[in-house]
């Protein structure tokens, strides 16, 4: 059991060592001639302006929130799947109730328009009046 997971550790360490080793080899054979222009940020040849660490579209945050909810659920369904055939009907009913509640949540998000990437102005009437 413990040796099973020791293998995982060996793999991870070997992966990291490989990256470090290849970087080292590359460091030994590559040319090094940094110039200010070469080290500047790439913006398709234009002179770069400002930082890129800017405020970001709130949609990404909403997607992350929805993901957390559903990912926890998937994590919960895995152990359920392992013992499903032993428990039979009870397990099915429990998972059914669980999934229906979550699908209701998904339906609510759908209705609220949180699943749409681009929200049209009709979806947000309050903002339209405000302007």
From the list 45, 47, 53, 55, which residue makes contact with other proteins (rule: CB under 8 A)?
Answer: 53
Min. distance of Cβ 47 from other proteins in angstroms?
13
Instruction: Report the candidate in 81, 74, 82 with the shortest Cα–Cα distance to residue 99.
Output: 74
31 binds other proteins (CB under 8 A): yes
Please report, as residue ranges, which positions from 1 to 30 form the binding site for other proteins (by CB under 8 A): 1, 3-8, 10-12, 14-16, 18-20, 22-23, 25-27, 29-30
Q: Total binding residues for other proteins by CB under 8 A?
A: 74
Report the residue number, 87 or 127, with the smaller CB distance to other proteins: 87
From the list 45, 47, 55, 60, which residue makes contact with other proteins (rule: CB under 8 A)?
Answer: 60
User: Which 3-state string (H, E, C) describes the chain?
Assistant: CHHHHHHHHHHHHHHHHHHHHHHHHHHHHCCCCCCCCCCCCCCCCCCCCCCCCCCCCCHHHHHHHHHHHHHHHHHHHHHHHHHHHHHCHHHHHHHHHHHHHHHHHHHHHHHHCCCCCCCCHHHCHHHHHHC
76 binds other proteins (CB under 8 A): no
Min. distance of Cβ 131 from other proteins in angstroms?
23
Report the residue number, 52 or 129, with the smaller CB distance to other proteins: 52
């Amino acid at each position: 059991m413990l040796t099973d997971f020791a293998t995982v550790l060996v793999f991870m360490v070997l992966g990291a060592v490989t990256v470090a080793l290849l970087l080292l080899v590359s460091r030994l054979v590559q040319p090094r001639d940094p110039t200010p222009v070469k080290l500047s940020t790439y913006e398709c040849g234009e002179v770069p302006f400002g930082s890129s660490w800017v405020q970001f579209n709130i949609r990404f945050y909403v997607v992350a929130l929805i993901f957390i909810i559903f990912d926890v659920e998937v994590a919960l369904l895995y152990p359920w799947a392992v013992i499903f055939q032993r428990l039979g009907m009870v397990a099915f009913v429990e998972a059914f109730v669980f999934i229906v509640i979550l699908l209701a949540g998904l339906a609510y998000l759908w209705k609220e328009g949180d699943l749409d990437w681009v929200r049209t102005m009709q979806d947000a009437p309050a903002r339209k009046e405000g302007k």
